[in-house]
Amino acid sequence: MLVFRIAYSPFPMTKITTAGRISILLGKQQAETGQRLSPRRLAERAGVPKDFVYRLDSGQARHVDLEALARLCAALQCQPQDILIWENGE
């Protein structure tokens, strides 16, 4: 299992965040398809634990299973960089 640790950053003064990204992507998908998809239903569709989706969206995820992230991206038709956002701390 591949795991990416969110708390680690090789660059000083930068941080990775996921806060609010799932909600934004679900909103975009709803606007495009007209179908509402809840975080719980997204988890079912992607085959990942619902807690994983909620932790990512709240920005509380400390470790991210890359296989689960890939399944989530496939379900949302997005790329990992749409969920994992680098913030410059300067």
The Cα 43–Cα 53 span in angstroms is 6
> In this predicted structure, what is the pLDDT of residue 10?
58
The Cα 46–Cα 72 span in angstroms is 5
- Say which CATH superfamily domain 3-88 falls into: lambda repressor-like DNA-binding domains (1.10.260.40)
For 52-88, give the secondary structure using H, E and C. HHHHHHHCCCCEEEHHHHHHHHHHHCCCHHHHCEEEE
Q: What is the pTM of this model?
A: 0.75
Beta partners for residue 40, in sequence order: none
The answer to which of 6-10, 38-42, 66-70, 73-77 has the lowest mean pLDDT is 6-10
Q: Which position has the token pair 């749409």?
A: 82
pLDDT for 9 beyond 90: no
Confidence class for position 86, pLDDT limits 50, 70, 90: confident
Each residue's pLDDT tens digit, 23-72: 999 999 889 888 888 999 999 999 999 999 999 999 898 888 999 999 99
Averaged pLDDT, 71-79: 92
